[in-house]
Structure 1
Amino acid sequence: MGIVVKANLEDILIAGYLVNAGLGGLELEELSAVHIQKTIQAWRNEKGKVFSVFNLPPDLPAIVLAKIAGGRLEAMRRLQPKLEELLSASGLTELFQTVESPLVQTLFQMEREGIKVNPETLREFGRVLKTRQSQLEKDIYSLVQEEFNISSPKQLGIILFEKLGLKAPKKTKTGYSTDAEVLEGLADQHPVIPLILEYRQNTKLQTTYIDSLITLINPRSSRVHTTFNQAVTTTGRLSCTDPNLQNIPIRSEEGRLIRCAFIPADERHRLLAADYSQIELRVMAHFSQDQAYKEAFLRGEDIHKYTAAAVHGVPVSQVTKEMRNQAKAVNFGIIYGISGFGLARNIGVSRKEADSFITAYFEKYSGVKTYVEQLIEEARQTGEARTLLGRIRKLPDLHSRNFSLRS
């Protein structure tokens, strides 16, 4: 309606999200039951069918609607001071007031503004993709000497592991696994594998991005208006849906072509693309206060090359591209708790060699090792972790007997 609200807004959903530390339970009914022990009764019709407040029959009498709305407003009135008390007790008030609450308005403005998309650019790329897909189909059928449904995991598994005799790494209850990890591991065993991987990538580009984006363009604004989810992830990270604009491909040439469809509002505007440089590693250097790590960044070193020299025991001048790529996996893997087994699988080396990389890394960056061990111990004692701004994340699986959940 164009009305600008100048008052400070405090959203109960966001407050509950911070208090519940990413564990969910954010519906008003759930927050009320847990924090003020108030049950909000759902509306039922004469047959006993329960209706969500977002799906009420359109012909309900005004008196019934008023009663439903009044009950919810009363719950919110009582919830606000209770949630403020809990935010204060957890040291989350500043985060709520200075970061999360102002962000509500910012995200609203971003959603309303949207981003302009040129549908013809998408359609043209779609036509190019379809031509390429047709050629890929012919090439794949020629290599395996048979036509089949390339998009069917079951049929693909039979072709690869029974007809061609490739070694099947794993088999599920429904048949052979042909997921991306399996196919990438087979890439050097038969020339058809890279073609199948490309075919799958193109199929995803067509359905997930091209076709979907075109249908989501608002006919009045010529823009897509995504929905930002501020209270969904357990880590506090934003997500967005319809469409997921945070997941538009960029690393491949095809992905960059899709990004070309996003255009400025008019000739007076430009789109700016920016990214933090190795932000996770810089945050680790700050948190751990590891002297070698900090000095490397302050000197403007290539941190992956610098780490490669340490883990391989060679001068920086002798670091190869392959060594740097391995060190990059070590740098990012360790801050996310990767194991020797996981690192070995990621970079294609033996478990022994991967373990030696991790050992050499911690010898070089002993402050990181101390910090990580301290962080894990604190989490075991408190059952939670905190971010730089004080956000809490509960870790209920930290003591689980299931290794995968615990790790």
Structure 2
Amino acid sequence: MKPTLYLIDGTALLYRSYYAFIAKPLVNSKGQHTSAIFGVINSFLRLLELKEAEYIMISFDRKAPTFRHELSADYKATRPPMPEDLVTQVEPVKEFFQLIGLEDISLDGYEADDVLATLAEKYKQDYQVVMVTADKDYSQLVDKDVSIWDPAKDLSYDEAGIREKYGVRADQFIDYLALTGDASDNIPGVRGIGPKSAVELLNSFESVEDIYNNLEEVPPKFRKRLEGQKETALLSYQLATIVRNVPIETDPPKSFEVQDLKKAMAFLDHYELFTLKRRILARTAAAVELEETIQADIFADEAAPEEEPEAPVFNAKMATRTDLEGILEEMQNYEEVALDTETDSVDPMQANLVGISLAYRENEAWYLPLAHQFHDNLPLEETLTGLKTALEGKLIIGHNLKYDLIVLKRHGWTLDNRIFDTMLAAYVLDAGSASFSLDKCAQKELNHEMIAIKEIIGSGKSAITFDQADIQKAAVYAAEDAWATLKLAPIYRRRLQFSSLDKLYDEMELPLIRTLARMEMNGVCLDSAMLKELSKTINTRLSELTERIYDYAGYQFNINSTQQLAKVLFEEKGLPAKKKTKSGFSTDSSVLEELAIDHEIAKDLLEYRMLNKLDSTYVATLPTLVNEQTNKIHSNFNQTVASTGRLSSSNPNLQNIPVRTELGREIRKAFIPSAPNRVILAADYSQIELRLLALFSRDDTLLKAFAQNLDIHRQTAAIIYNIAVEDVSADQRREAKTINFGILYGMGQVKLSRELSITRNEAKEMIDNYFERFPTIQSYITSSVESARQQHFCSTLFGRKLYLPNITSSNQRLKSEAERVAVNMPIQGSAADLIKIAMLEIDRQIKDDPRIKMILQVHDELVFDVEEDLVEEASALIRKAMEGALPAQYREIIKLKTDIGIGKNWFEAH
């Protein structure tokens, strides 16, 4: 049996290791980034541990251009330069392998895969060769003597494995890439041929050459795409081909043994990768000689691993009148101050200021009590005046600063300093995290457990307000908030820079805090009397539906109880149960919608639920949310909730008011201007996501339709049904619209069949037909998924990132969801970025003009309260800002369109 030779692609491992830690990079106490160093060495140790590897060689890419750049100037042109914090880790990784006796085998003009392919070709007669990499390009090298091992997943691929994974033989993999292209390397491929099409072609023909030699035998649906693209296909073939004859001389493989263990240990000590030391020693015979001298150090190192620093401590102080003057004077010596307000309400428009905490020295924080019930307080007006003067020109750091800005503004202090928001920074860095609360951030980044608010004010019905809390406990709690915020700021600031997210943060998200604060304070007026009448009408209808449902059941029961309802429908009435949950048969909307086709009771239940929810969520609730002081509703607009970058709203949530139903329209009528001489102006991006799909995919049909201002859904219907535009029926247009938007959200045949009330086979045929007619959109989807798989994140036009840890998951459900997000997020996130850019520009121009106020942002729409005689001027300003939000280089490809409406309420304007 032949021995096994393991060939490691060091560059591929560097990138994969770097991006595996991208959401939380490893940084040692010296400020050195170590994610890639740790990841590569960890993968190498897995090779030793899992495979008992004896013969090993390694290669890294060189900086010099390769022969492929001579073939095509576009080769890898779209790939961003290596991140600066990864560049600093390349040489240390090479140094480590040199210390343990593995030299980098590389040559200018060739990539690591060319060198390794040459070594595989050279030695596979005498060794069973295993390529250590997750790079799919190596699939073309696989044969009976060569296989691939992915160290991160511990997955191996032989000839059968490649066939199963990609649907083609390993010796056809170059042809596969020549047809599909490779977005990560900017290999063009044949436009309109995606993976499924490539597999179908290569299962009928041997190669790209064979396809073009027999083009008349190729099915018409593929032939049209292939015609005129032969040169591109052949160039793609050359670019995708790994060279197997690099002119490089090497010594035969030698049995691996660590060469300089002491220096290797010193290397790991220097980079503080203590957890790796014992694993290396366990694989090394020389470890016995070093055991006595270094074992104590190892166990000392393990007691304080780099991932979990010892929880820091700080000194919390409560200020008296005597202290205040010294604090204000001392702050003059510091450029950055963390500030946090304590109040008696979570609603900033209702909250009374109870105290302020400040931190400017590393392990110290002050609490300034201003309105506690059972304690001597500092004079509010005098304290705020002193703070405003002392903090002039300082950078103010906060966690959820929008809240503080509104509270302080209402108490007479307009905080117009430079700001840094740690909650917002944490969100921009990793928008997919479950929480950005200060508690979670401190625990994650500082290994510090914050005092819970319930320990200070209690919880539930027995909770008190902060001004009633024990002053000593309250002071420590408040000071801790400012201290933790000050500690977090440099961590996040550095990480934003290293992740190239500082521009998005500084130029878009951070200034938006003030824009949203102004918009929330503007508020919107509500016709409460109209809603109360509407609620009466709804409740009358609910009573009718309740009686009908009771009559159907034969007795009264709790309609809102899913278990009681399931008993009535499925056990007593024998209706067909569609799916089960842990507690019994499901009665969710999808089940009821299916039952409603044949059973009137299901229609009644759907209407009951819809009316009940709208009444309890909006119609009956909105009047109770009117601020007694302003007589307006002040919704909270959240920047850190939606992972795509979209804004959300709460108290009330305005995003979920139905747009297309009669009742939703009635609710919108209740949102009215603030005075008789004013109107509501609504500005809505027209089909923004489909326009962005056209931009991302560069689909000629979509681009042309938008350029000519055509009905995009009617055009789509004409194309997929192969009929004239004038012959498109209303149903066909509706189906095309469903597919157009469904494609954006990863709608499969199951959901499409349900949406259109057709069979799954019909839905599948419809989707296949769509992609056949819009091949560039399928190519966009394929390249988006592949790019996300390579980088472990997807991004918007403006650089916003969303990390996708499940994009390579072995769990198919999680992987499919990540792939859906990889396609949708760049489009939805770019739409979110565009409206934020528009809001900033509009706010810049109107913030000091009381005649026009921005009052709401919902989905792709901005709503304004405008003086009637300013409508024309305001419309022009708003349209220019919204349509000009797209950078000039993209406006040359597609233009945005803004629909503007005017009315005496939101419904009329919408």
Do they superpose with TM above 0.5? Answer: yes
Question: What does residue 168 of structure 1 align with?
Answer: 577
Q: Give the Å deviation of 1:44.
A: 9.1
Secondary structure of 2:521's aligned partner: helix
Matching residue of 2:82: none
On the 8 A contact 2:442/2:449 being kept in 1, the answer is no
| Structure 1 contact 23–394 (Cα < 8 Å) conserved | no
Map of 1:61 onto structure 2: 472
1:381 CA displacement: 1.3
What is the aligned partner in structure 1 of residue 544 from structure 2? 135
Cα distance between partner residues in 2 of 1:43 and 1:160? 49
The 2-side partners of 1:148 and 1:29 are apart by: 43
Alpha-carbon distance in 1 for matches of 2:449, 2:595: 56
The alpha-carbon deviation at position 152 of structure 1 amounts to 3.0
The runs of 4+ residues in structure 1 deviating greater than 6 Å are 52-57
Q: Could you tell me which residue of structure 2 aligns to residue 386 of structure 1?
A: 795
What is the identity, as a one-letter code, of the residue corresponding to 2:430? N
CA RMSD of superposed structures (Å): 2.7
Aligned pair in 2 of structure 1 residues 260, 152: CA closer, same or farther (>3 Å)? same
| Superposition deviation, residue 380 in structure 1 | 0.8
Q: Alpha-carbon deviation of 1:29?
A: 4.8
- TM-fit CA distance, 1:55: 6.6
Task: Pick from 720, 743, 748 the counterpart of residue 334 of structure 1.
Answer: 743
Identity %: 39
Secondary structure, aligned partner of 1:109: helix
For residue 285 of structure 1, report the CA deviation from its aligned partner: 0.6
Q: Is the 8 A contact 2:789 2:807 kept in 1?
A: yes
**Structure-2 separation of matches of 1:44 and 1:169:** 44
Whose radius of gyration is greater, 1 or 2? 2
Residue in 2 aligned with 1:197? 606
Q: How far apart in 2 are the matches of 1:328 and 1:43?
A: 51
Aligned residue for 2:682, secondary structure, equals coil
CA contact (8 A) 2:717 2:736 kept: yes
Name the CA distance, whole Å, in 2 between partners of 1:289 and 1:52.
57
CA deviation after TM superposition for structure 1 residue 315, in Å: 2.0
Q: Secondary structure at the match of 1:313?
A: coil
- Structure 1 residue 109 and structure 2 residue 518: aligned? yes
Q: Which runs of structure 2 are paired with 1:254-333 in the superposition (5 Å)?
A: 254-333=663-742
Deviation of 1:284 after TM superposition, in Å, equals 0.6
The equivalent residue for 2:421 is 11
- Give the 3 Å change call, closer, same or farther, for CA 52–25 of structure 1 in structure 2: farther
Provide closer, same or farther for how the CA distance between residues 290 and 136 of structure 1 changes in structure 2, counting only shifts above 3 A.
same
The reply on whether 1:247 has 2:689 as its aligned counterpart is: no
Unaligned runs of 5+ in 1: none
Aligned equivalents of 2:785, 2:596: Cα separation in 1 = 38
**Cα deviation, residue 214, structure 1:** 2.4
Instruction: Return closer, same or farther for 1:50/1:159 CA change in 2, 3 Å cut-off.
Output: closer
Quote the offset at 1:177 in angstroms. 1.8
Match of 1:27 among 415, 437, 442: 437
- Alpha carbons 1:309, 1:319 under 8 Å: kept: yes
| Amino acid of the structure 2 residue aligned with 1:97 | D
Question: Residue 646 of structure 2: which of 223, 234, 237 is its match?
Answer: 237
Residues 431 and 642, structure 2, Cα contact 8 Å, conserved in 1 = no
Q: Which residue of 2 aligns with 1:118?
A: 527
Give the letter for the 1:397 counterpart.
N
Alignment map for 1:358-397 (pairs within 5 Å): 358-397=767-806
Structure 2 gap ranges (5+): 1-410, 459-464, 817-910
Counterpart CA distance in 2 for 1:50 and 1:140 is: 47
Instruction: Report the Cα distance in structure 2 between the residues aligned to 1:70 and 1:145, rounded to whole angstroms.
Output: 62
* 1-structure distance, mates of 2:810, 2:699: 33
The one-letter code sitting in structure 2 at the alignment partner of 1:302 is: D
Q: Distance in 2 between matches of 1:140 and 1:31?
A: 49
- Rounded to whole Å, the distance in 2 between the matches of 1:253 and 1:176 is 31
Distance in 2 (CA, whole Å) between partners of 1:177 and 1:320 is 36
CA contact (8 A) 1:114 1:224 kept: yes
Any conservation in 2 of the 1:40–1:71 contact (CA below 8 Å)? no
Contact 1:42 1:50 in 2 (8 A): no
CA distance in structure 1 between the partners assigned to 2:533 and 2:435 by the alignment = 44
For residue 99 of structure 1, report the CA deviation from its aligned partner.
Answer: 1.0
Q: Contact 1:43 / 1:52 at 8 angstroms: preserved in 2?
A: no
SS in 1 for 2:488: helix
Structure 1: how far apart are the matches of 2:434 and 2:610?
33
Cα distance in 1 for partners of 2:450, 2:499 equals 31
Specify the SS of the correspondent of 2:678.
coil
Q: Deviations over 1:116-150 (max 9, x none)?
A: 12221111111111222222233444455554443
**Which amino acid is 1:61 matched to?**
Q
Provide the secondary structure at the position in 1 that maps to 2:794. strand
* Distance across 1 between alignment mates of 2:667 and 2:701: 41
Q: Is the 8 A contact 2:442 2:450 kept in 1?
A: no
Aligned counterpart, 1:400: 809
Q: After alignment, is 2-11 or 314-323 more displaced?
A: 2-11
Structure 2 vs 1, CA of residues 71 and 136 (structure 1 numbering), >3 Å: closer, same or farther?
A: closer
In 2, Cα distance between equivalents of 1:93 and 1:81: 13
- 1:313 and 1:61 map into 2 onto residues whose CA distance is 76
Asked whether the 8 Å contact 2:527–2:670 carries over to 1, the reply is yes
Worse-matched range after superposition: 146-155 or 281-290: 146-155
SS across alignment from 1:273: strand
Distance in 2 (CA, whole Å) between partners of 1:341 and 1:155 is 29
CA displacement 1:59-90 (0-9 Å, x = unmatched): 2339x82x655554444344333322221222
Shift of 1:377: 0.4
What is the match of residue 352 of structure 1?
Answer: 761
Matched ranges for 1:207-226 at <5 A: 207-226=616-635
Change (3 A) 1:355 1:77: same
Letter paired with 2:470? D
Q: CA deviation at 1:207?
A: 1.1
Per-residue deviation, residues 353-396 of structure 1 (Å, max 9, x unmatched): 22222222222222211111111001111111101211110112
Tell me which of 204, 215, 228 is aligned to 2:637: 228
Q: Whole-Å Cα distance in 1 between the matches of residues 797 and 636 of structure 2?
A: 26
CA contact (8 A) 1:166 1:189 kept: no
Correspondence for 2:36: none
Please give the alpha-carbon distance, in whole angstroms, between the structure 1 residues aligned to 2:427 and 2:708: 40
